[in-house]
Amino acid sequence: MAKPDKVAAVAEIADRFRNASATVVTEYTGLSVSQLGKLRRALGSSAKYRVAKNTLVKRAVEDAGIEGMDDLFIGPTAITFVEDDPVEAAKVLKDFAKENNALVIKGGYMDGRPITVEEIQKLADLESREVLLSKAAGAFKAKLSQAAAMFNEPASQVARLAAALEDKRQSGDAPAES
């Protein structure tokens, strides 16, 4: 018979899997409690880092309807549940793993499918959502400026032509109108 605390833990983990925009599974063997605290602070409020027993996580994954992740739950396992931008969380995990060799990224889950370590690395190499949006806005603004200049050019040409014709008339080179 299942213990109520384990049933509650499985339900909580399953809910986190369902509500997360992405998850990253890591192995944390060799990290101290202070290092884990530092990692949690670096992740901030946009992601939750949870150490859990593999048997409970496997049941939670099954309850959440997620497939293809069972091979990640071997050895000491911690899961990062990303609630906001997956790029930022992937960057934090990648940087922390560089500084602390004891943190090993095993894989994850995003957009309804398991993702590999390589995909997480590529995700970490992307620029943040805000930077990408500002670059897109800058590109749109540049194109609008080019379009405005293009639409303004015929009127400018007519104005320059009229000014040149007026100058020619005043200098007496052009025949006067009758």
Q: What is the pTM of this model?
A: 0.69
Q: What ranges do the domains of the chain cover? A: 4-126, 128-178
Residue with tokens 């000014």: 163
Task: List, in order, residues 6 or more apart from 43 with CB less than 8 Å away.
Answer: 49, 80, 89, 92, 93
Structure confidence at residue 46 (pLDDT): 82
Q: Tell me the fold of 4-126.
A: Alpha-Beta Plaits (3.30.70)
Specify whether the CB–CB gap between 79 and 57 falls below 8 A.
yes
| 96-145 pLDDT per residue, tens | 999 988 889 999 999 889 999 999 998 888 777 777 788 788 888 888 87
Write the CA distances from 139 to 52, 128, 133, 135, 177, integer angstroms: 45, 17, 10, 6, 49
